[in-house]
Amino acid sequence: MYESKQPYFYGTGRRKHSVARVRVYEGTGKITINGRDIDEYFGLETLKLIVRQPFAVTDTVDKYDIVCTVAGGGVTGQAGAIRHGLSRALLQASDEFRPLLKKEGFLTRDPRMKERKKYGLKAARRAPQFSKR
């Protein structure tokens, strides 16, 4: 789709177990995720909104095209990872975006992870059902 010679800005985003490698090109606002269009990749509108948030904050909605590869985790984690990577890539495009993105918290890697399962329990904190008899 894009020639390797075309200049781009790069950012890596992470959320839960998802890792997104985001390339931002000068363009018209087209978003491609794992070779598919954003509307085809994400079913929920909220996930599409999460991915587009950095553009809305920086007023660059139709100025850049995104090509990203995302792996691991579920759809929500992947959307958050893309947002994180896109924010980092936009910083390379212009340092003027830093205060806007930082204020919204898009540059911070969300540290929340799934709690591990403990022995004797059914999940991280879920105890087996109590039986009187």
Q: Does residue 34 lie within any of the structural domains?
A: yes
- Mode of pairing for the β-strands spanning 18-26 and 9-15: antiparallel
Q: How many whole angstroms separate alpha carbon 67 and alpha carbon 24? A: 7
Tally the domains of the chain: 1
Confidence of residue 133 (pLDDT cuts 50, 70, 90): confident
| Model confidence at 1: pLDDT above 90 | no
Range of the domain at 62: 9-104
| Model confidence at 62: pLDDT above 70 | yes
Q: Does residue 13 lie within any of the structural domains?
A: yes
Q: Does residue 119 lie within any of the structural domains?
A: no
Q: Does residue 16 lie within any of the structural domains?
A: yes
Assign residue 122 a region (left: φ > 0; alpha: ψ between -120 and 50; beta: otherwise): alpha
| Model confidence at 63: pLDDT above 70 | yes
pLDDT at 61: 85
CB 13 within 8 A of CB 85: yes
| CATH number of the domain bearing residue 37 | 3.30.230.10
Q: How many whole angstroms separate alpha carbon 57 and alpha carbon 33? A: 21
- Tokens linked to 7: 């200049």
Q: Does residue 125 lie within any of the structural domains?
A: no
pLDDT at 131: 94
Q: Does residue 40 lie within any of the structural domains?
A: yes
Mean pLDDT on 98-125: 94
Q: Does residue 126 lie within any of the structural domains?
A: no
Q: Does residue 122 lie within any of the structural domains?
A: no
